[in-house]
Amino acid sequence: MFGTAGCGSVTARAPAPAPPSVMVWPSFDGRNARTDRGMVVRARGGTLDAVLAYAGGQPVPGHLDATRTIWRSDWALKPGTEHTVTATATRPGAPSTVAMGRFRTRTPQRTFRVASAVPLPGETVGVGMPIILTFDAPVRDRAAVERALEVRAERPVEGAWRWVGDTQAVYRPREFWPARQRVTVVAHLAGVRAGPGVYGAADRSLTFTVGRAQTSTVDTRTHQMTVRRDGRVAQRMAISAGMATTREYTTTSGVHLTMDKGNPVRMVSPGRSKGDPGYYDLLIDHAVRISNSGEYVHAKDNVWAQGRVNVSHGCINSRPDQAAWFYAGSLRGDPVTITGTDRELEWDNGWGYWQLPWEEWVKGSALHAPDAAQRPAPATPAQPLPQR
């Protein structure tokens, strides 16, 4: 007799999903990591649940992409600093992965920084005010530096930087600033590569306030100046403009900005020596400068000419009491638009930046110029930092 074997079914258990992987660049344990390419954390086979990054104990700002698989630092990394990273990746049905480590960024031998900034921190300015940053070394990689310049306004505007040389960048909104708001400028320069072997040493920030909206118009043909505050006429002034016997004595037409003021200001005739015809050396009261070619709105006792004829050496003369009023109420960056002469204000004469149409202005930007989109991005695991 033979035994009969029973048959049974065996169900194979499916393997558990593999945990996601996490990659961090710069690599952990590095002692000489690059700063200019930022930090990138990537998840494979899952999504990033949390990324905590610190530089010398301070949080490193960054953001996740829409798929939550890539986290990037917003700016370059602080040089000569130990960075720590903790990143957690998850996947449904699989154990999570936690990557923890540290690396140190390199210390550059040559650095650059912001040498001066306009406006001053805490200053209240007019609606036409530019932001002017001057660097202490030539900037060869303008796009990298411009990408690190952030402007935050309480009432956001469209604006762009324009390079006016290797060491200076100027920011201008497309239209005048909306009045009565705070604006913060942050130059995230720490670790940014300005050129071969030259890196940003430190960030720089400032906050200023845009005050009331004061705009002035000057018609040299009717010899009248009208000052408006917040759209309402605040003062009408009879004036006398440049006599126009020479180019230097011709008032420039265009959109000027008030730049500074003094009471008094010493004014000396250009290109003339004592004893020459037309020579003068005078102290002028309540003078508000509007260009770099010697133009001011200032007090003058030639009331007989004001409102009637142009007799000045290029400045806008006004009645002493009205000049004092204008002087007292002027902020740096107040627009003064002059018409009626055949000499145009150059865009780079003082703060004549509003002379350029917007389409021309952005051509001076390393990021917004028409050919900027065609310029190759640097080959790097960390894609170009987000434009701010």
Percent of the chain beyond pLDDT 90? 86
Beta bridge partners of 25: 40
DSSP 301: S
Give the pLDDT score at 372: 58
Two tokens at 45? 């086979």
Give the pLDDT score at 270: 80
CB distance 294 to 314 below 8 Å: yes
Query: Distance between CA atoms of 200 and 37, rounded to whole angstroms?
Result: 13
Q: Is the four-CA dihedral 153, 156, 157, 163 of positive or negative sign?
A: positive
* pLDDT range class, residue 386, cuts 50, 70, 90: very low
* Nearest one of 177, 95, 65, 178 to 131, comparing CA atoms: 177
More confident residue, 381 or 339: 339
Q: Which residue has the tokens 């050919």?
A: 371
Query: Distance between CA atoms of 54 and 84, rounded to whole angstroms?
Result: 5
What is the set of active-site residues? 298, 315
Give the pLDDT score at 275: 80
Percent of the chain beyond pLDDT 70? 91
Which uninterrupted H or E stretch holds 208? strand 204-210
Query: Distance between CA atoms of 347 and 362, rounded to whole angstroms?
Result: 13
Give the pLDDT score at 66: 97
**What SS3 class is residue 286?**
coil
CB atoms within 10 A of CB 332: 23
Cα Rg for the chain, rounded, in angstroms?
31
Kindly state the average pLDDT of the residues 60-87. Answer: 98
**What SS3 class is residue 124?**
strand
Give the pLDDT score at 373: 47
The dihedral formed by the CA atoms of 144, 145, 151 and 156, expressed in degrees to the nearest 10: -40
Residue 5 has pLDDT above 50, yes or no: no
Q: How many Cα atoms within 13 Å fall on the side-chain side of residue 350?
A: 26
Kindly state the average pLDDT of the residues 364-380. Answer: 62
Write the single-letter amino acid at 301: D
| Segment 137-150, tens digit of pLDDT | 999 999 999 999 99
Query: Distance between CA atoms of 87 and 97, rounded to whole angstroms?
Result: 8
Mean pLDDT of the chain: 92
| Segment 163-203, tens digit of pLDDT | 999 999 999 999 999 999 999 999 999 999 999 999 999 99
CB distance 127 to 177 below 8 Å: yes
Kindly state the average pLDDT of the residues 292-314. Answer: 96
* Nearest one of 227, 315, 335, 226 to 269, comparing CA atoms: 315
Give the pLDDT score at 9: 55
Q: What is the 3-state secondary structure (H, E, C) of 44-111?
A: ECCEEEEEEEEECCEECCEEECCCCCEEEECCCCCCCCEEEEEEEEEECCEEEEEEEEEEEECCCCEE
Q: Where do the DSSP E strands lie in 136-272?
A: 149-153, 159-163, 168-173, 181-187, 193-195, 198-200, 204-210, 214-219, 224-229, 232-240, 254-257, 260-262, 265-268
**Residue 331: partners with Cβ closer than 8 Å, 6 or more residues away:** 124, 125, 126, 211, 214, 258
